[in-house]
A = this chain, B = another copy of it.
Amino acid sequence: MLIFERGVKGRTATAQAPLVKAEATDIPDSLMRKNKAALPEVSELQVVRHYTNLSRKNFSIDTQFYPLGSCTMKYNPRGAHRVASLPGFLNRHPLAPESYSQGYLASVYELQEILKEVTGMAGVSLSPMAGAQGEFAGVAMIRAYHEKRGDHERSEIIVPIAAHGTNPATAVMCGYKVKEIPVLNDGDVDVEALKEAVGPQTAGIMMTNPSTCGVFERQIEVIAKVVHDAGGLLYYDGANLNAILGKVRPGDMGFDVLHMNLHKTFATPHGGGGPGSGPVAVGERLLPYLPTPIAGIEDAGGEPDYCWLGEEALPDSIGRLSAFMGNAGIILRAYIYALFVGRDGMQRVSEFSTLNANYMAKKLADAGFDLAYKDRRATHEFIITLSKQAKELGVTAMDFAKRLLDYGYHAPTTYFPLLVPECLLIEPTETESIDEMDGFVDAMIQILKEAESSADLVKGAPYTQPVKRLDDVKAARELDVSYKP
Contacts and interface: CB of A to CB of B under 8 A. Distances in A.
Interface of A: 6, 8, 11, 15, 43-46, 48-49, 52-53, 56, 61-64, 75, 77-79, 340, 431-433, 435
Contacts of A53: 63
Given A6-B435, A43-B431, A49 B77 contact: no
Oligomer copy total: 2
26 contacts: A6-B433, A6-B435, A8-B433, A8-B435, A11-B433, A15-B77, A15-B79, A15-B340, A43-B75, A43-B431, A43-B433, A44-B75, A44-B77, A45-B75, A45-B432, A46-B433, A48-B75, A48-B78, A49-B61, A49-B62, A49-B63, A49-B64, A52-B62, A52-B63, A53-B63, A56-B63
A342 to B, nearest CB: 10
Contacts of A45: 61, 75, 431-433
Nearest to A60: B52
A6 B62 CA distance: 15
Contacts of A8: 433, 435
A40 to B, nearest CB: 13
A405 to B, nearest CB: 15
Given A6-B433, A45-B432, A52-B62, 16 more contacts: A6-B435, A8-B433, A8-B435, A11-B433, A15-B79, A43-B75, A43-B431, A44-B75, A44-B77, A44-B78, A45-B431, A46-B433, A48-B62, A53-B63, A56-B56, A56-B63
A1 to B, nearest CB: 10
A62 B46 CA distance: 9
A479 to B, nearest CB: 30
Contacts of A11: 433
Contacts of A64: 49
